[in-house]
Structure 1
Amino acid sequence: MPKRHPLDVVIIGAGVVGAACAYYAARAGLRTAVVDRGPVAGGTTGAGEGNLLVSDKEAGPELDLALLSAALWRQLAAELPQEVEYEPKGGLVVAPDEATLKALRDFAASQRAAGVEAREADPAALRDLEPHLAPGAAGGFHYPQDAQVQPAQAAARMLAASGAELHLGEEVTAVLRTADGRVRGVRTPRGDLAAPAVVNAAGTWGGRIAELAGTTLPVLPRRGFVLVTEPLPRLVRHKVYAADYIADVASGSAALQSSAVVEGTPAGPVLIGATRERVGFDRSLSVEALRRLGAQAAALFPVLADVRVLRTYHGFRPYLPDHLPAIGPDPRVPGLLHACGHEGAGIGLAPATGVLIASSLTDTPPPVPLAPFDPNRFPPSPSGV
Structure 2
Amino acid sequence: MIGAACSLYAVRAGLDVVVVDRGPVAGGTTGAGEGNLLVSDKEPGPELELALLSRRLWREITVAGPPDDRRPPDRGFDRPIDGRVVDGRVVDGRAIEYEPKGGLVVASTPEALTALTALAAGQRAAGVDTVPVTPDQLRELEPYLAHGLAGGVLYPQDAQVMPTLAAAHLLRASGARVETGRTVAGVLRGADGAVRGVRTERGDLRAPAVVNAAGTWGAEVAALAGVSLPVLPRRGFVLVTEPLPRRVRHKVYSADYVADVASDSAALQTSPVVEGTAAGPVLIGASRERVGFDRSFSLPVVRALAAGATRLFPFLEHVRAMRAYSGFRPYLPDHLPAIGPDPRVPGLFHACGHEGAGIGLATGTGHLIAQTLTCKAPDLDLTPFRPDRFAEEAAP
The interval holding the TM-score normalised by the smaller chain is: over 0.9
Match of 1:155 in 2: 167
CA deviation digits over 1:183-227, x for unaligned, max 9?
000011111110000000000110000000010100000000000
Identify which range, 70-79 or 173-182, moves more after superposition. 70-79
Q: 1:381 offset after TM fit, Å?
A: 9.2
Do the aligned residues in 2 keep the contact of 1:126 with 1:139 (CA within 8 Å)?
A: yes
Question: What runs of 5+ residues in structure 2 fail to find an aligned partner?
Answer: 64-88
Instruction: Tell me if structure 1 keeps the 8 A contact 2:245–2:279.
Output: no
Give the AA of the match of 2:317: A
**Cα distance between partner residues in 2 of 1:346 and 1:193:** 26
Partner of 1:198: 210
Q: Does 1:255 align with 2:263?
A: no
How far residue 266 of structure 1 moved from its aligned partner, in angstroms, is: 1.5
In the TM superposition, what is the alpha-carbon distance from 1:76 to its structure 2 partner?
Answer: 2.1
Asked if the contact 1:263–1:271 (Cα under 8 Å) also holds between the matched residues in 2, the reply is yes
**How does 1:49-88 map onto structure 2 within 5 Å?**
49-78=34-63, 79=89, 80-81=91-92, 82-88=94-100
Q: Does 1:210 align with 2:222?
A: yes
Measure, in 1, the Cα distance between the counterparts of 2:245 and 2:281.
9
Partner Cα separation in structure 1 for residue 245 and residue 224 of structure 2: 49
1:43 aligns with 2:28: yes
Contact 1:241 1:262 in 2 (8 A): yes
* Superposed displacement of residue 367, structure 1: 1.2
Cα distance, 1:233 vs structure 2: 3.2
Q: Please report the RMSD computed on the Cα atoms of aligned residues, expressed in angstroms.
A: 1.0
* Corresponding residue of 1:319: 331
The CA deviation string for residues 22-56 of structure 1, in whole angstroms up to 9 with x for no partner, is 00000000000000000000100000000110000
Q: Deviations over 1:45-88 (max 9, x none)?
A: 00000011000000000000000111111112122123111100
Give the secondary structure class of the aligned counterpart of 1:84.
coil
Q: How does 1:297-308 map to 2 (within 5 A)?
A: 297-308=309-320
CA distance in structure 2 between the partners assigned to 1:297 and 1:184 by the alignment: 50
1:13 corresponds in structure 2 to: none
Give CA deviations for 1:258-296 in whole Å, capped at 9, x if unaligned: 111101112111000110000000000111110000000
Shift of 1:365: 1.4
Give 1:379 shift.
3.2
1:234 deviates by: 1.5
Residues in 2 aligned to 1:113 and 1:265: alpha-carbon distance in whole angstroms: 30
| Secondary structure, counterpart of 1:199 in structure 2 | strand
State the match for 1:93 in structure 2. Answer: 105
Q: Give, as a single letter, the amino acid of the residue that structure 1 aligns with 2:134.
A: D
Residue 355 (structure 1) shift: 0.5
Write the distance in 2 (CA, Å) between the matches of 1:193 and 1:173: 11
The answer as to 2:211 corresponding to 1:226 is no
The CA distance in 2 between the partners of 1:58 and 1:381, in whole Å, is 23
Q: How many residues end up aligned between the 2 structures?
A: 368
The within-5 A match list for 1:166-205 is 166-205=178-217
Runs of 4+ in 1 over 4 A off after TM superposition: none
Mapped contact 1:77–1:84 kept (Cα < 8 A):
no
Correspondence for 1:274 among 264, 283, 286: 286
Q: Does 1:121 align with 2:106?
A: no
Letter in 1 for 2:210: V
Aligned residue number for residue 371 of structure 1? 383
Q: Contact between 1:56 and 1:246, CA under 8 Å: does it hold in 2?
A: yes
The answer to whether the Cα contact below 8 Å between 1:197 and 1:337 also exists between their aligned partners in 2 is yes
**Structure 1: which 5+ runs fail to align?**
1-15
State the identity %. Answer: 69
Partners of 1:24 and 1:233 in 2: how far apart? Answer: 35
Give distance in 2, aligned partners of 1:155 and 1:127. 35
Q: CA contact under 8 A between 1:216 and 1:381: conserved in structure 2? A: no
Look up the SS of the partner of 2:243 in the other structure.
coil
Q: Contact (CA 8 Å) 1:261, 1:273: kept in 2 or not?
A: yes
Q: In the aligned structure 2, how far is the partner of 1:75 from the partner of 1:359? A: 17
